[in-house]
């Protein structure tokens, strides 16, 4: 039977539902208008980025300028300013040091200054990284810090570089070995301090033998009044109560969450549900036709504020257990939230076939030009990456599909009809930019050349080996480091930790596209968009980076029904874009050969050694330097 009141109530509820839906839709779309494939507020994409935004339903939108030229110009101006303000004399360097850090430089600063001048070191003032890394240790006494440095040598996968009476040795206390028994990282550090070891007092440098970061101190411990007196925690780490790997007793993400402020999303219950919003924002980004370019790699990205993002970074799933106590731990890279002290990578400092540009396997030395280097005009125009299917551990298991390398190769292997929004100049060389929705399988065939050359840890991948191979291109033909030089674009992404190939890529005549969550010793010395192209953790802008520098591909022009299809292939390319890309490649090479040299790494470690020596002293003031 019809009930008038019930029908009326149902109608009102239906009308109310419609109104609420429209209101939410308007608020949502307004709030998310600047979003990308990651939620708004994520500095991985949206923050500090330049965005091309096309009106929905309009394929032709004239722009006064593409954002990339401005990013490049701003980068060059910024870097020129950094170079121009470097100190020219010792008094200037002392004054700049005091201005930055509010104290006198460490003892030996004058000898260090002579070292950098004798070796034509360009960056003589840019050592903020050292100050940041050592800042937490000022709360400890010199005696306590010395004890912790010595005790750290008893931790698993930690070596000690000992300086005694001007002589340096590398030892592994835990395994009772020295010499060949210590890690390659420790041996590399030993070589770095060779020239100035006699200028340093007796010291113990605990060197992290692992690629992953080690030191994650919980927020409550850092805020505790007893932070400087955690004898129980130190002894617990050394007692053998815990194994060096997790073995189901926890994981890196749970340890990392505890380093965050209690008010942050990472510490709140159910914070992981935030990850589910990424799919919706990706859809909205496609509707608003946004193309984003990050201005920098996100070494300071906050996983505490964006806990969902940890699923996309393999170091949160490392098998190796982190250390929840403030030990001085010298590591080649530092992820946000870690308290490791940065030192140059032994891969950068060493001379090896796998990691060094220009390596001569016959004479075991470096050549000015790698024997496999290719002239720019002969380089292939595709975006190139090769590597093993590493990138994370298995604690907890089941997340390997989201590791950084897997995501890159899977994106480049996609043969679906999903479309990507591509912005390009039409006609070629003009300032008139339009967009086209291009099937991703066509783009990948024309733009991308990424594959795994070695499948490892496949048992950690959901579905096993068959699932991994079916979703990712595998090229088992074998690739040498020199094979990379045949391409204009080289992608550099994180592995188990930082990427050890970055310096070799920079020294080639190819343009480097870098994506990372790590900060390294040189982060104050290099300028994105001048020396390399920064890439977000989503990698989504790769296709538009290629479209700007190399011009629209055949599939892109066809999707837009562009009149440029009538032009010869040679006239469809972006001449100005290619020149700009080569400018980045040359600037990167120049940077590596003037600022990223072995002697520059030595200068960094020398200065770090002086600062560290002052920290471990009982009377720190007596270890300071003053001009006479």
* Chain centroid offset of residue 287 CA: 29
Write down the residue that tokens 């002969």 correspond to.
378
Question: Is residue 44 situated within a structural domain?
Answer: no
**Within-domain flag for 11:** no
User: Quick check: 206 and 117 in contact, CB under 8 A?
Assistant: no
Task: Determine, yes or no, domain membership for 60.
Answer: no
Question: Are residues 415 and 331 part of one domain?
Answer: no
Task: Give the model's pLDDT for residue 64.
Answer: 57
DSSP 3-state of 507:
helix
**Residue whose tokens read 């002579």:** 114
**Same domain for 274 and 373?**
no
Beta-carbon contacts of residue 92 (< 8 Å; ≥ 6 apart): none
- Does 180 reside within a domain? yes
Residues, the chain: 628
Residues of the chain with pLDDT under 50: 1-48, 55-58, 271-288
Same structural domain, 358 and 416: yes
Shared-domain flag, residues 586 and 614: no
Q: Which domain holds residue 198?
A: 100-291+298-344+603-623
What are the structure tokens assigned to 500, written together?
Answer: 């050890």
> Which H helix or E strand runs over 13?
helix 4-31
Question: Which tokens hold the place of 492?
Answer: 């550099």
Q: Is residue 20 part of a domain?
A: no
- Establish if 23 belongs to a structural domain: no
pLDDT of residue 511: 98
Same domain, yes or no: 365 and 329: no
- Torsion, Cα 290 293 295 296, to 10 degrees, reads 120
Answer yes or no: are the C-beta atoms of 182 and 159 closer than 8 Å: yes
Q: Are residues 180 and 238 in the same domain?
A: yes
- Give the chain's radius of gyration (CA, Å): 27
Same domain, 616 and 485: no
Number of folded domains in the chain? 2
In a shared domain, residues 228 and 339: yes
Q: Is residue 500 part of a domain?
A: yes
What's the rounded Cα separation, in Å, for the pair 179 and 160? 11
> In the chain, how many H helices and how many E strands?
21, 17
Using CA atoms, how far apart are residues 598 and 327, in angstroms rounded to an integer? 27
User: Do 327 and 377 lie in a common domain?
Assistant: no
pTM: 0.88
Q: Token pair for residue 3?
A: 């009930």
Same domain, 393 and 281: no
Cα(293)–Cα(68) distance, integer angstroms: 8
Residue 22 included in any domain: no
Rounded to 5°, angle at Cα 379 from 377 and 382: 125
Indicate if 310 and 423 belong to the same structural domain.
Answer: no
Residues 389 and 265 both lie in one domain: no
Q: Quote the pLDDT of residue 286.
A: 35
Which run of H or of E encompasses 93?
helix 90-101
Confidence at residue 244, expressed as pLDDT on a 0 to 100 scale: 85
């Amino acid at each position: 039977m019809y009930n008038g009141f019930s029908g009326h109530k149902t109608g009102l509820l239906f009308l109310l539902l419609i109104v609420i839906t429209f209101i939410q839709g308007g608020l949502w779309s307004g709030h998310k208008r600047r979003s990308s494939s990651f939620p708004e507020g994520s500095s991985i994409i949206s923050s500090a980025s330049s965005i091309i935004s096309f009106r929905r339903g309009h394929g032709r939108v004239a722009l006064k300028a593409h954002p990339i030229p401005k990013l490049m110009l701003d980068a060059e101006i910024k870097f020129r300013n950094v170079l121009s303000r470097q100190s020219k004399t010792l008094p200037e360097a002392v004054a700049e040091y005091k201005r930055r850090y509010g104290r006198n430089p460490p003892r030996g600063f004058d000898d260090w200054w002579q070292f950098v001048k004798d070796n034509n070191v360009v960056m003589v003032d840019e050592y903020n990284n050292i100050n940041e890394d050592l800042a937490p240790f000022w709360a400890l006494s010199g005696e306590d810090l010395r004890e912790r440095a010595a005790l750290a040598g008893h931790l698993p996968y930690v070596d000690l570089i000992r300086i005694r009476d001007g002589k340096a040795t590398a030892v592994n206390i835990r395994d009772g070995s020295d010499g060949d028994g210590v890690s390659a990282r420790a041996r590399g550090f030993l070589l770095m301090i060779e020239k100035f070891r006699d200028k340093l007092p007796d010291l113990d440098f605990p060197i992290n033998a692992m690629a992953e970061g080690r030191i994650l101190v919980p927020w409550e411990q850092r805020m505790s009044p007893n932070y400087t007196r955690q004898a129980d925690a130190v002894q617990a780490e050394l007692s053998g109560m815990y194994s060096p790997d997790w073995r189901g007793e926890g994981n890196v993400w749970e340890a990392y969450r505890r380093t965050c402020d209690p008010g942050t999303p990472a510490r709140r219950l159910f914070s992981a549900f935030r990850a589910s919003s990424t799919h919706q924002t990706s859809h909205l980004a496609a509707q608003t036709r946004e193309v984003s370019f990050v201005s920098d790699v996100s070494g300071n990205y906050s996983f505490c504020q964006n806990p969902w993002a940890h699923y996309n970074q393999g170091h949160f799933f490392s098998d190796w257990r982190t250390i929840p106590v403030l030990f001085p731990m010298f590591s080649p890279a530092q992820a946000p939230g870690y308290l490791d002290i940065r030192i140059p990578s032994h891969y950068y400092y060493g001379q090896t076939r796998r990691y060094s540009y220009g390596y001569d396997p016959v004479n075991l030395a470096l050549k000015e030009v790698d024997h496999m280097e290719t002239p720019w005009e002969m380089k292939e125009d595709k975006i190139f990456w090769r590597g093993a299917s590493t990138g994370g551990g298995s604690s907890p298991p089941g997340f390997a599909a989201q590791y950084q390398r897997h995501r890159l190769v899977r994106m480049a292997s996609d043969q679906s009809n999903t479309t990507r929004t591509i912005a390009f100049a039409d006609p070629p060389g003009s300032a008139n930019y339009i967009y086209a929705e291009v099937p991703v399988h066509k783009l990948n065939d024309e733009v991308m050349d990424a594959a795994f050359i070695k499948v490892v840890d496949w048992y950690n991948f959901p579905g096993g080996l068959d699932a991994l191979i079916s979703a990712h291109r595998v090229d088992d033909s074998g690739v040498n480091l020199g094979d990379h030089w045949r391409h204009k674009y080289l992608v550099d992404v994180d592995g188990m930790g930082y990427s050890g190939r970055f310096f070799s890529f920079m020294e080639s005549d190819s343009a480097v596209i870098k994506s990372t969550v790590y900060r390294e010793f040189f982060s104050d010395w290099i300028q994105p968009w001048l020396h390399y192209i920064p890439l977000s953790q989503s990698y989504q802008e790769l296709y538009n980076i290629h479209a700007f520098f190399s011009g629209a591909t055949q599939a892109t022009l066809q999707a837009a029904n562009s009149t440029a299809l009538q032009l010869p292939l040679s006239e469809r390319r972006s001449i100005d874009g290619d020149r700009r890309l080569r400018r980045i490649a040359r600037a990167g090479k120049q940077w590596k050969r003037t600022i990223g040299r072995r002697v520059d790494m030595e200068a960094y470690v020398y200065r770090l050694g002086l600062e560290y020596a002052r920290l471990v002293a009982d009377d720190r003031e007596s270890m300071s330097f003053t001009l006479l």
